[in-house]
Chains A and B, each alone.
Chain A
Amino acid sequence: MIEPDTSPESTEPIIEMRKIRKIYGSGNTEVRALDGVDFRIEPGQFVSVMGPSGSGKSTCMNIVGCLDTPSSGAYLFCGLDVARYDKNQLALLRRNYLGFVFQSFNLIARTTALENVELPLIYKGVKPAERRLRAMKALASVGIADRADHAPSELSGGQQQRVAIARALVSEPTLLLADEPTGNLDTETTADVLHLLQQLNHEHDLTIVMVTHEPEVAVHTRRVLYFVDGKLVDDGPPSEVIP
């Protein structure tokens, strides 16, 4: 497997989608979840993905996140065509270059916050002592180090999402993907989490792509991709895209 070039000197965009199609089913039941999508995302951008329900936002994120492969088209991750990578190669890409944050937090139950954050490092083969150290640092960077020994069920939604962000950050990814990360949070914690993501984008130059259906959330990003029926219909700063 060829490793992507993620060095700061690289001139490649992080994401380059070329005529991406994703088709589910066939014949009468055919669904074009993505129908010829083209876009590029440069390093350091904070992008939100918007659109009505069923417009293909999650499908797009899954392909960007190497959890799924397109039916046709080319997806270049840091200049590398990963469309034809197999399961295990995609797993390695996710492990080393990608971080995920989900709407429903997706922490492992009955496992402490620290252990949840350590998990990506376990798969990377990092030794326990170093693992613990890095996981604690990641928890501290999202301001939740004092809850390291708590299980997800003992944490509030906002706290759980912070742990999830720490888990996504712990392996120092090139790209952070968040599918409706504030969808299950109240207004106040939404602001907290958004602030945290902005901070990561500003201070660490982390590239972030975030799905959201709330305009109040999207306005905090600098670019909005707007999907309708599997097509990218609008692409620009929030002030232009959001009516």
Chain B
Amino acid sequence: MRLADTFQMAFLAIARNKIRSFLTALGIIIGVGSVIAMVHVGQAATQSVTENISSMGSNLLIVSPARARRGPGGVRITSPPFTIDDVETLEHEIRGILVAPEINTNQSLVYANVNHNASILGTTNDYFEIRNYQLDRGRYFEPEEIERSATVCIIGSTVNDTMFGRSDPLGNNLRVGRTSCEVVGILQAKGASFGRDLDDVVVMPTGTVQSRILGNMDVRSIQISALQDGTTARIKAEIEELLRDRRGGSGREDDFFVRDMQEVADTLEGTTRTLTMLLGAIAAISLLVGGIGIMNIMLVSVTERTREIGIRIAIGAQVKDVMIQFLVEAVALSCLGGLLGVGVGIAGTHFATQAMDLPFVLSMDTILIGFGFSAFVGVVFGFFPARKAANLNPIEALRHE
């Protein structure tokens, strides 16, 4: 028997019972569709987490004071902020890093008749490299401007768009709180990270924010970038040792913590990956149920077509001919379901990623595995009905009503 004839026979059998074939394949369609959609959404979430974290800057470490906690007798213990001295010590003592202070506040901006609230950042030029900001136009701060806490600022693209619109901000004075600042640079857009607009920002020299806006010399956090990949763990330990010394010794609990963003990324990635696998596994169970549906219908079909099978055997079909015919029918049915399932899965991925604001990226591996699974299910669950058909006794089969 020619292979082409085997396939034609199977497709004719499927086409002869369109509605039933579709309903049979529906289990596979849903199974493959949900496997593909679930895994894709999981992968998109993983990717989004990774992208969000790497958009913050590579090899980033953030040093912050520990959260306020309850001491003995319920006394609230707040951790003291850092000082510029801390920043400079870190810079001198630890090799292979970039260090920048970060002083955060929120202020209203005024230019012409436009009002806008933005996040204000006091820092040094290294900050731009640490956090991966590129200059779009203008210039960075002059060392002298940082030295004397000059009233200059570099603005993010969101601030530029909302405050200045079409006009050129360079050289113009922007009111930040009650201080007037000259705009000397504009940053390239970076987008959002974890829902926060990274471009809605006004960057000023450290001292300017400290003395002119906030009126104190505290440093809220220290941003550090390891210049070499894979050194963040060592650098984290070095920072901890140094700060422990400077902030009252090692005898007590640390009143600061160092966050290694690579570590955070790894943890988050691991979590989303586990979740993806879990979702995929749940979806795979529905694929299994779809396979049982195929087996069920194939068994019904074998019973229904007992007489036809008897005829085929009588006119010379061998065991393998009948076996292959029914197996191909089951596999074709599940593969058709798989093919439709791939379509459903891609559409599902599209809608889900859109709804969750995740990147829409298709992975060929996932699609092939989803589809391959459907073929596998067809073989496994088609085997038993096919063997039943092939081993029918022709005499009894021909007597069957």
Contacts and interface: CB of A to CB of B under 8 A. Distances in A.
Interface stretch (B168-176, B205-213, B305-313, B345-353): B305-313
Given A67-B394, A68-B395, A106-B311, A88 B318 contact: yes
A110 interface: yes
A67 B315 contact: no
Interface string B1-45: 110010001000000100000000000000000000000000000
A57 interface: no
B16 to A, nearest CB: 6
A87 B319 CA distance: 8
A96 B316 contact: yes
Contacts of B314: 65, 67, 94, 100, 106
B231 to A, nearest CB: 69
B185 to A, nearest CB: 76
A92 B318 contact: yes
A123 B394 contact: no
A95 to B, nearest CB: 3
Contact of B317 (A68, A100, A123, A128): A123
Interface centre among B5, B308, B313, B319 (most CB of A within 10 A): B5
Interface string A153-169: 00000000000000100
A243 B390 CA distance: 45
B39 to A, nearest CB: 41
Interface string B357-401: 000000000000000000000000000000000000011001000
B321 interface: yes
Contact of A120 (B308, B316, B319): B316
A123 B395 contact: no
Contact of B311 (A108, A124, A125, A128): A108
B2 A125 contact: yes
Contact of A123 (B307, B308, B315, B398): B315
A91 B318 contact: yes
B316 to A, nearest CB: 3
B309 to A, nearest CB: 10
B397 to A, nearest CB: 10
A22 to B, nearest CB: 11
A167 B398 CA distance: 16
Contacts of A67: 314, 394-395
Contacts of A62: 395
A144 interface: no
A88 B312 contact: no
A91 B398 contact: no
A127 B398 contact: no
A109 interface: yes
A133 interface: no
Interface in A49-85: 62, 65, 67-68
Contacts of A171: 316
Interface centre among B2, B316, B319, B398 (most CB of A within 10 A): B316
Contacts of B313: 91
B1 A123 contact: yes
Contact of A100 (B1, B308, B315): B315
B2 A127 contact: yes
B316 A108 contact: no
A23 interface: no
Contacts of A100: 314-315
A122 interface: yes
Interface in A94-142: 94-96, 100, 102, 106-110, 119-120, 122-125, 127-128
Interface string B290-317: 0000000000000000011011111111
A88 B310 CA distance: 14
A230 to B, nearest CB: 16
A177 to B, nearest CB: 10
| Nearest 9 CB-CB pairings of A with B | A95-B316, A91-B318, A94-B316, A120-B315, A88-B318, A123-B316, A122-B5, A106-B311, A67-B394
Interface of A: 62, 65, 67-68, 87-88, 91-92, 94-96, 100, 102, 106-110, 119-120, 122-125, 127-128, 167, 171
14 contacts: A65-B314, A67-B395, A68-B395, A87-B319, A91-B313, A91-B316, A91-B318, A95-B317, A100-B314, A100-B315, A108-B308, A120-B315, A122-B1, A123-B318
Interface of B: 1-2, 5, 9, 16, 307-308, 310-321, 394-395, 398
